[in-house]
Amino acid sequence: MFIEPHIKGEKKGWIEVVCGSMFSGKTEELIRRLKRVKIANLKVEIFKPAIDTRFDKNNIVSHDTNAIHSTPVKSSEEILKLATDVDVVGIDEAQFFDKGITEVCEKLAMNGVRVIVAGLDMDYKGNPFGEMPNLLSKADYITKLHAICMKCGDIANISYRKIADANQVLLGEKDIYEPRCRQCAQSND
């Protein structure tokens, strides 16, 4: 599906964004793509925000417990400093990065790097989350994944928060969040 284009012998980069709600398989898809890159013997660097320590301090881990080693970073600018002489850069939980993440991805792509980014496109209220809208507008390829609504069984695109907390960022798992469709997210029960 993603064929690296070559024009006049020059390597061209691009941005792929995998988005959706919690429990939709975003990290699983990111890991799958990055493992294929490693099989192809391409040089890859993988990053995650340092604040995300839910499963592991260093590894990106999916809800299905698949994992791949990554480097935790505190800012998007660190990615540019660490991603030298690579073919592919993977970034998980992009919604937690600072405003510079979009520019970092754009710079990497302009330097011939394939950038694969995963993140929540909406917060628990169903509003755009962090820099994800900007990343989506710059992406060459977008994959939107859906979970299954825990109330009605339809497709879910909302990460419904089961507890009262007004902070946009609240790290948690099934104890705090569940996937819901638009209608069931509004029912609040």
Tokens matching residue 103:
């520019």
Q: Nearest-CA neighbor of 90 among 16, 164, 22, 160?
A: 16
The enclosing H or E element of 110 equals helix 101-110
Q: Which of 29, 93, 131, 178 is catalytic?
A: 93
Is residue 154 within 8 Å of 181, Cβ to Cβ?
Answer: yes
Residue 131: active-site member: no
118, two tokens: 């995963």
**Hunting for tokens 């002489």 — which residue is that?**
85
CA within 13 Å, CB half, 108: 35
Among 175, 143, 181, smallest CA distance to 25 is for 143
- HSE (CB half, 13 Å, CA atoms) of 117? 36
- ∠ CA 49-54-60, nearest 5°, is 55
Catalytically active residues are 93
